[in-house]
Structure 1
């Protein structure tokens, strides 16, 4: 009997186009004698659950717009290939406990997120938001007192050292920065391999670095962990960038510090998304804002698709899956 016997791609037409462009879609179709696509554009959870049970696939391909899985799964379902990242709002932990195989995009988009962290860092150092607003509103131009800064030779601190942080380290190698890391899983071998230095506390990370990049996962232990006390350890002219998760930061404290104008801030993520139209962060000349765009960019979603197709091939050949969501991974992920 062929494996998988059937595949259901329950994703929107746009997700299908962006994540599985040809020839990737044809490669997926070739893996099974029974392939179906269920367009989840504006599909209710109840309608999705009914379609899922009617199709009763062995493999489900899902993405951002796929409604959460039902409490009771169809009997044939063995593997969920999730094209995107966090699966916590999609797959109940109980399904993983009962043996459902689930994978996500793993590290396939990490370099693109790291690229956005670099964008925010450079934008802050060069005062890009200040000059954009001033040139639009006031017709401003540089003068003798205009200040900008470079990334070359800077002290950079990373909170978290997952795949995005490691890609960020690779990206900034040409800038010859001194990099320190605060994360629970950084040992001496990791320090040596990546050319970083581990610090034991967030206080040290913020006090010793000119630039701090927030990349820690959002779990109970990290919620609100970046406090006003830590932010005030950054010296004037320092940079704080968050492309991880908004709720890791005490945003009210960050706003108070940002409004003083002494440090530069780059934010791609927020506790409440979309960011409210009346948010005081909007319009601050020392704050660069983007609407959760870190990754993957539209043109690089195919990277996640290629990673997922490789996993589908592995499943078909009964080989180990990459980026498998175990109970431990589920508990320690955003």
Structure 2
């Protein structure tokens, strides 16, 4: 049992998905006096009143939690020491000054990398098989295959990955049965780190895009990387190739991607966009050679409890004085979307 005051701010479906009964019971054993509020209750009362009444030192949040206020005084005087955010990005939830004033923040980090990689593999295979086009055409237009097919297989292909973080590493493992040849452009990763996964180094983005039939976008969104994948690079993808983005939408110049895909020489499979939700009038929605998902790359409903268990384990580390995993530092905060 802990003497720390815990406040959980989740709506009912977030609580059910992230912290199903076994995890919730475990949490209650650690914090017998835990307080549970829905996001609507927090919005109605306001954070200042909630902090005054509950005095939480630890806070668990989900997607729907209202943003913490930007007041410096409240950041210093709230008594909040650790915020365990069960999903990913905290930019819309936590003002930077709270972290500057010592608040420890963690998120789901690498706990869901394998699930995002699974989505990436599905998008690669679906894009190569032109599943997006045929699913729509058969449902809406009564279509059937013709002699002019351009479907392709993943077996034995060359795959280039832009960025080589945790998701990329999981994706490489998932692609092993297909006998692919993988290269990456990720200057910060050591030769030993690439050799561990049997991945070749591309010395430039130009080399990566021009020498691989499949390009997977997984680069971190840094100021230098914003919009770095432009028309020149996209046109280097070999004709009939596939561009997959399961990373960050803003790394890609979306207008350039639209222009390139409109010519029909390459295909694309996209899960992230510069503006989300993707506008209803986006030209991407009308392209037969572009497979679209509505940012589904994160954990599926059945896998959200993995992130919940990861967050709970982090809280236990915090209580025992052990180092936390997936801490959102100021540097990570600044690079997040």
TM superposition shift of 1:93: 2.4
SS in 2 for 1:272: coil
Partner of 1:17: 16
TM superposition shift of 1:42: 7.8
TM-score with structure 1 setting the length: 0.95
Partner of 1:282: 285
Partner of 1:200: 203
Q: Does residue 233 of the first structure (1) align with residue 236 of the second (2)?
A: yes
- How many angstroms apart in 1 are the aligned matches of 2:177 and 2:157? 12
Q: Does residue 65 of the first structure (1) align with residue 64 of the second (2)?
A: yes
Is the 2:42–2:50 Cα contact (8 Å) retained in structure 1? no
Q: What do the CA deviations read for 1:234-283 (whole angstroms, capped 9, x no partner)?
A: 11110001111111111111001111111110011111111111211113
Partner of 2:127: 124
- How many angstroms apart in 1 are the aligned matches of 2:54 and 2:101? 21
CA spacing shift, 1:119–1:49, aligned 2, 3 Å: farther
CA spacing shift, 1:292–1:4, aligned 2, 3 Å: farther
CA spacing shift, 1:325–1:125, aligned 2, 3 Å: same
Q: What do the CA deviations read for 1:143-193 (whole angstroms, capped 9, x no partner)?
A: 333221000111101111111111111111111111111123211111111
TM superposition shift of 1:139: 2.1
SS in 1 for 2:312: helix
Aligned residues: 333
SS in 2 for 1:168: helix
- How many angstroms apart in 1 are the aligned matches of 2:3 and 2:175? 42
SS in 2 for 1:226: coil
CA spacing shift, 1:112–1:45, aligned 2, 3 Å: farther
**In structure 1, which of residues 274, 294, 301 is the aligned counterpart of residue 297 of structure 2?**
294
What RMSD over aligned residues (CA atoms) do the two structures have, in Å?
Answer: 1.7
Partner of 1:35: 34
CA spacing shift, 1:228–1:34, aligned 2, 3 Å: same
SS in 1 for 2:111: coil
Structure 2 gap ranges (5+): none
CA spacing shift, 1:38–1:255, aligned 2, 3 Å: same
Q: Does residue 265 of the first structure (1) align with residue 268 of the second (2)?
A: yes
**In structure 2, which of residues 296, 321, 326 is the aligned counterpart of residue 323 of structure 1?**
326
SS in 1 for 2:187: coil
- How many angstroms apart in 1 are the aligned matches of 2:309 and 2:198? 30
SS in 2 for 1:81: strand
Q: What do the CA deviations read for 1:46-73 (whole angstroms, capped 9, x no partner)?
A: 6244323321101000111111222323
